[in-house]
Amino acid sequence: MRCIFDREYAPGCALDIYLPDNEVKAIFIYFHGGGLEAGDKKDAAVFADYLADRGIALISPNYRMYPGAKYPEFIEDAALAVKWAFDHMPDYTPCRKFFIGGSSAGGYLSMMLCFDRQYLGKHGIDPMMITGYIHDAGQPTCHFNVLRERGIDSRRVIVDDSCALYHIGTQKEYPAMLFLVSDQDMKNRYEQTMLVLSTLKHFGHEKNIHLKVLHGGHCHYVGRAPDGNGLSLGEMAAAFIESI
């Protein structure tokens, strides 16, 4: 595996690239979690080898976070990272099969890129140019730290244009998606994830929508190294990517 660290994709924002030694079959852009206020692109290193062994290149970007950032800068950064991948990955591989995903706060980012087409659209990327999404335990309502930024109780459940649920149904079709969530996840996260799936179904978007419910706490599988049991994030991501 070839590693390229700290490649700048926007002022003050960098990404890491993990490239397979052999043919690249897919490119996975993964956004780390941490509540939009913590976490790091290096969090993805735990499953980079596993993906590379299966021909999946991994791109892990950092993005602006609280307290220095404000909404929607982190989403704009995520879109810029995808734009960078579309523009520059041809320098490394001819593969044009792009997947986008993220865990927790990263799942919020992946859902915003998926359902609010303005962010990628600003860079000339149509939603259907993405092969698939992996939304891992992201908040589909107004993110609790966005609420805090607005001076609103972070426990409130608000649906406005800052969240994924607001935008579901505004597109005629969506790429394939895998949703991950735990049965003992953060308060209201499991229920809100089920509401996303129900809303997609309500608009007739059932095709290629997949759900995996894990047993345990919030994103407990993210830092777990792949061990052959199929329950680490790396293994679940690879299985989904290989199936599309």
- Give residue-wise pLDDT tens across range 97-111: 999 999 999 999 999
User: Does 193 have pLDDT greater than 90?
Assistant: yes
Provide the β-strand partners of residue 2. Answer: 19
- Mean per-residue pLDDT, 133-137: 98
Q: How far is CA 56 from CA 4, 31, 42, 113, 236, in A?
A: 15, 16, 17, 21, 13
The confidence score (pLDDT) of residue 127 equals 85
Domains and CATH numbers, the chain: 2-243 (3.40.50.1820)
The confidence score (pLDDT) of residue 62 equals 98
- Mean per-residue pLDDT, 152-169: 98
- Mean per-residue pLDDT, 44-58: 98
- Mean per-residue pLDDT, 208-236: 96
Instruction: Residue 236: name the closest of 210, 218, 208, 209 by CA.
Output: 210
